[in-house]
């Protein structure tokens, strides 16, 4: 099943095999044995208060870092939205970030870039093939949460009129 076939409020659960792979891959990320586009995302549970980690692929465009959830509104997305902040852990470093949600209208270009860059890993979550034009992502953009990460010490709430320009 592809996330675009589910209601926007849903997400695809991990299989037991995917959970096992993510644990191993998370260890590799923590050890610094992966590319700079990989990180362990840490969020605080919105109900439990516990800290959870999951491996993520970072989309870096023009010096800005974006976080995309190809599975839809997963638990980490819901936790991050409630708390408004996350931490990225890489190579022994842990940095706090504030989240800035990217508007649906600005997501197609970012989703296109994300799929093109990480197609071997995330293609199965998209109904469009890598290489599709950004305009093809417009009808499904609301199904894929996208956030811009802003260093927590530099965050200024831009208000509701903020539009993130995905072009470098």
pLDDT, residue 94, reads 92
**With contact defined as beta carbons under 8 Å apart, do 117 and 73 qualify?**
no
Q: Cβ atoms within 10 A of the Cβ of 161, count?
A: 5
For the cut 60, the answer to whether the pLDDT of residue 162 exceeds it is no
DSSP 105-163: GGHHHHHHHHHHHSHHHHGGG-SS-TT--GGGGGGGGGGS-EEEEEEGGG-----TT--
Give CA–CA dist 66/111, Å, rounded.
10
Task: Taking the CA atoms of 39, 144, 121 and 76 in sequence, report the sign of the dihedral they define.
Answer: positive
pLDDT, residue 26, reads 64
- Residues above pLDDT 90, as percent of the chain: 60
Q: Give pLDDT tens digits for 102-147.
A: 998 999 999 999 999 999 999 999 999 999 999 999 999 999 999 9
pTM: 0.78
Which of 9, 135, 29 has the alpha carbon at shortest distance from 72? 9
Q: Compare 20 and 91 and report the one with higher pLDDT.
A: 91
For the cut 90, the answer to whether the pLDDT of residue 65 exceeds it is yes
pLDDT, residue 27, reads 67
**98: its two tokens:** 């504030």
């Amino acid at each position: 099943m592809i996330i675009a076939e589910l209601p926007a409020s849903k997400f695809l659960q991990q299989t037991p095999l995917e959970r096992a792979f993510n644990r191993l891959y998370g260890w590799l990320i923590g050890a610094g044995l992966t590319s700079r586009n990989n990180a362990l995302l840490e969020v605080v549970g919105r109900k439990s208060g516990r800290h959870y980690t999951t491996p993520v692929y970072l989309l870096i465009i023009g010096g800005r870092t974006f976080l995309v959830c190809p599975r839809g509104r997963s638990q980490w997305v819901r936790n991050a939205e409630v708390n408004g902040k996350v931490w990225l852990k890489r190579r022994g470093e842990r940095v706090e970030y504030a989240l800035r949600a990217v508007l649906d209208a600005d997501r197609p270009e970012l989703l296109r870039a994300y799929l093109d860059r990480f197609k071997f890993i995330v293609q199965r979550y998209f109904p469009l093939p890598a290489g599709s034009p950004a305009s093809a992502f417009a009808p499904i953009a609301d199904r894929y949460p996208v956030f811009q990460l802003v260093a927590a010490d530099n965050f200024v709430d831009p208000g509701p009129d903020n539009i993130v320009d995905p072009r470098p």
